[in-house]
Amino acid sequence: MKILAIGDLVGRRSIEYLSGCLWRVRSKLGVDFVVANGENATEIHGLSAKDAEAILHSGVDLITLGNHAFGCRDIGAYLDDNSHAILRPANYPALCPGMGCAVREVGGVRLLCMNLSGTSFMDQLDNPFGVVDRLLDSQRGRYDLALLDFHAEATSEKVAMGLYLDGRVQVVFGTHTHVATADERVLPGGTGYITDLGMTGPTGGVLGTDSQAVIQRFCTRMPTRFTVADGPVEAHAALFTVSEEKPWRCVRVERVVF
C-alpha cells in the first residue's frame, strides 16, 4: 500500500493547485490513499467547510488539522458531519466538535487514521503520548495498520513520538513547521517516519505568508495582519510504502515535491 501525506496547505491557491494536479500525481506514483493537513488552507488561520469540500474533491481522502482547527466558525458542524473524512487533534477536549481518529477501508485494508497536537511551545492540550495509547487501545481489533499526523512545533517531541510508536503504528509524520525535514526513514520496528512534511503553498514568502508582513512583525514587534504570499505554488509531501505481508511494516519513505 502506498500512502501519500501532503504538508500543510497554505491559502486557497494551494487548494486550486492540488485540484489541477493531484489526481495525476496519484496515478503516476500509484498512490492508494492521500492525507493532507488543511489547517492553514483558508487564508492561513483555519479551514472553512467550503474549502474542506474543495480539498476532498481535489483527490485528498482525509484532511487533518492542528492548532488552527477551529479558526473558521462553520467548521464545527462540518467536523461532526464528516468525521470519516476530516479529523481534528484527538487531544482537544471531548466537548469539541469532531473526532481525532477514523478507520478507513483502503482496498480491503482497515486503516486507522489519527491526528494529534504537540504540547511543547503549543496549546496545553491533553498529553499526546497518553492520548495515542488510549486511541490504539480503544480501536484494538478494528484496524490492520495505522497512521498519525503529529502536528507539533518541537522536533524533539516529534522524534520522541515516532520512537514511542515504532512497531505499533506504520506511518508517523509531523506537520506544522512548514519546512520539510531531511530525516525520512524506516525505524527499527517498521514505522515509516519523517519529522515534518513541509508545506503546500506559494514559495515567495515566509512559510507561505507575505514576507513583508512577517519581517515588519519581527522588526517592530507590532501586531501585523498576515496574508498569503505570492510566487509559484509547490507541494511538499512524503510517500510511505507499507508491505502487505504481515506483520504490517513500512518498507520505504520518500520525500516528494510536485
Phi, psi (rounded to 5 degrees) for 117: -110, 140
The pLDDT score that the predictor gives to residue 248 is 94
Q: Which three cell numbers stand for residue 225?
A: 495582519
187 within a domain of the structure (yes/no) = yes
138 within a domain of the structure (yes/no) = yes
The pLDDT score that the predictor gives to residue 43 is 82
Number of domains in the chain: 1
List all residues 6 or more positions away from 73 whose beta carbon is below 8 Å from its beta carbon. Answer: none
> Catalytic: which of 45, 57, 68, 151?
68
Q: Which of 36, 34, 33 is nearest to 1 (CA)?
A: 33
pLDDT of residue 25 exceeding 90: yes
| Residue ranges making up the domain that contains 14 | 2-201+233-257
Return d(Cα 244, Cα 60) in angstroms, integer: 22
The pLDDT score that the predictor gives to residue 211 is 86
169 within a domain of the structure (yes/no) = yes
Task: Report how far Cα 113 is from the mean position of its chain's Cα atoms.
Answer: 10
Reported as a pLDDT band with limits 50, 70 and 90, residue 252 is very high
226 within a domain of the structure (yes/no) = no
The pLDDT score that the predictor gives to residue 27 is 98
Indicate if 68 belongs to the active site.
yes
Element (H, E) at 52: helix 49-57
- The tens digit of pLDDT for each residue in 74-109 reads 999 999 999 999 999 999 999 999 999 999 999 999
In DSSP notation, 54-81 reads HHHHTT-SEEE--TTTTSSTTHHHHHHH
- Go through 222-238 and write b for each residue having 16 or more CB atoms within 10 A of its CB, e for each that does not: eebebebbeeebbbbbb
pLDDT of residue 135 exceeding 90: yes
171 within a domain of the structure (yes/no) = yes
CATH number of domain containing 124: 3.60.21.10
H-assigned helices in 97-229: 128-138, 155-165, 211-220
159 within a domain of the structure (yes/no) = yes
The pLDDT score that the predictor gives to residue 103 is 98
- The tens digit of pLDDT for each residue in 209-228 reads 888 888 988 999 998 888 89
223 within a domain of the structure (yes/no) = no
Reported as a pLDDT band with limits 50, 70 and 90, residue 245 is confident
pLDDT of residue 4 exceeding 90: yes
- The tens digit of pLDDT for each residue in 108-126 reads 999 999 999 999 999 999 9
Average pLDDT, the chain: 96
Q: Is 106 exposed, middle or buried (0-12, 13-18, 19+ CB in 10 A)?
A: middle
List all residues 6 or more positions away from 44 whose beta carbon is below 8 Å from its beta carbon. Answer: 10, 11, 68, 208, 209, 226, 227, 228
Reported as a pLDDT band with limits 50, 70 and 90, residue 244 is confident
222 within a domain of the structure (yes/no) = no
